[in-house]
Structures are given as structure tokens and as C-alpha cells.
Amino acid sequence: MASEQEAQIVLEAKKLPVSPTTYTYTERDVILYNLGIGATEKDLQWTYEGDDDFSAIPTFGVIPQMDAMSSVPMDFLPNFNPAKLLHGEQYLSIKAPVPTSGELISTARLLEVLDKGKAAAVTSIVETRDTSGKLIFENQSTVFIRGAGGFGGRRNASDRGPASAANDVPKRAPDAVVEEQTSASQAALYRLSGDLNPLHILPEFAAIGGFNKPILHGLCFMGISGKHVFQKFGAFQDIKVRFAGVVYPGETLVTQMWKEGNKVIFSTKVKERDSVVLAAAAATLATGSKAKL
């Protein structure tokens, strides 16, 4: 009976209204995001609005949906404590060419709530459209709330295609490897794209979280790795990662990539600590994309 009651709690939570959010931006915001994930003055297509090929790096799609994602209700969970929330996985699907300025409207909803015993895993989905209603991005985000499990809910996730794929690393040498050292001010720059969590800028706040200094945003080093995939293999139509560790600004990221058909499986580690920070990760190449090796 308890199990049915808890399942009903989840069903009721899925019915809770979540208001759409609006994201208005200009080419300046696109450039700021591109710089925030390591684009430089040499990458004119990403840092100069007058370039013929000026564009957003594809992972920009995680930015317009952030307010909508954060508005998804989670306080229906037992023992819910936002301080015990960890970003576990992120999936981004790019449905149409990305405008470099304009107004986008994001609508979020609960997709899945799993009982992992000592934690709850909550997956939300956000659809982002332009003002004409055309779908531009779909994001799926999974967060783990420590201490909010044990409520008798379903334990195993449903198959969500590329959004939940295991993406096991092939047993061969990678087809491409890119190293990039982040800057000491990387988090201070990236946060200006919208994630103002003090965990990434205030040492005393980071200490409360158990870190000896502020850490880099997970979506920032996801973006850096996505940039590496783009540089080596061309445009992609979706990208999925599991956050497996932390990155401190100034550390060096190593992205190892394996091309398997139209998918690029990748793994990212911190060179200085030989610690994997992105796992179960892959991008599906867009039709017509060619390797740039």
C-alpha cells in the first residue's frame, strides 16, 4: 500500500503546473557563452558577430532552458533538501538551426522519478521553442537528491534512447584526443551565461559543499567537450553526458573520442588527477557531418 501511495505522489507531482519561461538574448550572449567554454579570439566564427559563419557552439542549447528546468517541482519528495542535489546527467537534442539572437520560450515537466534507495533520481524534460512555435531544443536533465529515496518508487529507468544510452567506451585506442587547459577564471566567466550558483565563485560556499575551492560548472565542461567533438567530427544533433567527477578551474581536460557509425562516444578526464569527469557520453552526428581529423 505504501508503494502505491508514493507512486501516487509522483503522479500528482507530474500534474503540477510549471509556467513557461522566456529567454531573450543577443549575439553578445552567444559570444559570452562561446568564450565561457573556451572559444578564443582565433575562433572568429564563435567570437566575432561579423564573421560569415558566426554561430553558437551547439551546446548553447543548455542555456535558454535553465530557468524552466529549475522551476520543476521537487519538494514533494520526502526529506527534500536542495543543498543535497547533484546534477547527474544531461541530454541535449538540437532540433533546428540555432538562432544567434531572439526570444525563446521553454516549457518544462517532470519525466521520471526513481527511488535509488538512499537518493531519488529526478528527470525533467524541457522543450524550447521560438516565438513561432518551432521546436529548437529539447533538454533532459537528471538530478540526484541525496537522502530523498526509500519512498517505494520505481528503481529502474525507462529506455529513453540516446538520452539514457550506456555509451560504453570501445576497447581500442581513441580516434581523436583533445587536451585543453581551463583558465583559473573559467567559472567566473561561465556563470555570466546564467548559472549564478555561488558554489562556483565563493570559496566559503564551496567549503560547505565539501570542496576546498569553487568548482567548475558541469555544463561548462560538458560544453568544452562538446566543442572538442564539434572541432574533430563536425556538427552533432544531440549530446548526452553523465557527470562523474568535479573539475577545478585551471585544470586540464582531456577528451578522448571514438567514432562508432554516426555516433561519437567520448570520455573526459582531468589530466592532473587522472580522474574521469564525464562518462557514458556520446554525440550523434548530424547528417552530412564529416570528420575533421
pLDDT at 290: 58
Amino acid (1-letter code) at residue 168: D
pLDDT tens per residue across span 183-234: 999 999 999 999 999 999 999 999 988 899 999 999 999 999 999 999 999 9
Q: Is the domain of 130 the same as that of 192?
A: no
37 is catalytic: no
The reply to whether 85 falls in a domain is yes
- 280: in domain: yes
Residue 162 falls within a domain, yes or no? no
| Annotated catalytic residue 218 | yes
How confident is the model over 63-81, as a mean pLDDT? 92
Task: Name the domain count of the chain.
Answer: 2
Does residue 165 lie in a domain region? no
Q: Is the pLDDT of residue 99 over 80?
A: yes
User: Does residue 166 form part of some domain?
Assistant: no
Q: Is residue 293 part of a domain?
A: no
Instruction: Judge whether 291 lies within some domain.
Output: no
Question: Which residue of the set 38, 61, 88, 218 is catalytic?
Answer: 218
Indicate whether 104 and 193 sit together in one domain.
no
How far is it, in rounded angstroms, from Cα 239 to Cα 58? 9
Q: Give the Cα separation of 97 and 64 in Å (integer).
A: 14
Residue 78 sits in the same domain as residue 137? yes
203 and 122 in a common domain: no
CA distance 127 to 112: 16
Whether 135 and 189 share a structural domain: no
- Return mean pLDDT, the chain: 93
Q: pLDDT tens digits for 46-62?
A: 999 999 999 999 999 99
Are residues 30 and 127 located together in one domain of the fold? yes
Q: Which tens digit of pLDDT belongs to each residue from 142-166?
A: 999 999 988 878 888 889 999 999 9
pLDDT at site 8:
78
Instruction: Indicate whether 10 and 130 sit together in one domain.
Output: yes
Structural domain range at position 209? 176-285
Q: Verify whether residue 168 is a known catalytic residue.
A: no
pTM: 0.94
Q: How confident is the model at residue 289 (pLDDT cuts 50, 70, 90)?
A: low
pLDDT per residue as tens digits for the range 246-261: 999 999 999 999 999 9
At 9 the pLDDT is: 77
> Average pLDDT for residues 17-34, to the nearest whole number?
97
Whether 194 and 58 share a structural domain:
no
Which amino acid, one-letter code, is at 230?
A: F
- Where is 275: in which H helix or E strand? strand 275-285
Q: What is the pLDDT of residues 27-37, one digit of tens each?
A: 999 999 999 99
The answer to whether residues 199 and 128 belong to one domain is no
Backbone angles phi, psi at 141, to 5 degrees: -125, 130
Same-domain pairing of 26 and 80: yes
Could you give the CA distance from residue 117 to residue 173 in angstroms, rounded to a whole number? 37
Out of 31, 57, 215, 239, pick the active-site residue. Answer: 215
CATH number at residue 92: 3.10.129.10
Q: What is the pLDDT of residue 152?
A: 77
- How far apart, in whole angstroms, are the C-alpha atoms of residue 31 and residue 226? 16
Find, among 111, 115, 110, the residue nearest to 155 by Cα. Answer: 115
Examine residue 168 and state whether it is found in any structural domain, yes or no: no
Q: Which of 37, 136, 194, 200 is catalytic?
A: 200
Same domain, yes or no: 109 and 10:
yes
Instruction: Quote the longest CA-to-CA distance of the chain.
Output: 63
- pLDDT greater than 70 at residue 291: no
- Of 195, 217, 228, 238, which one is the catalytic site residue? 195
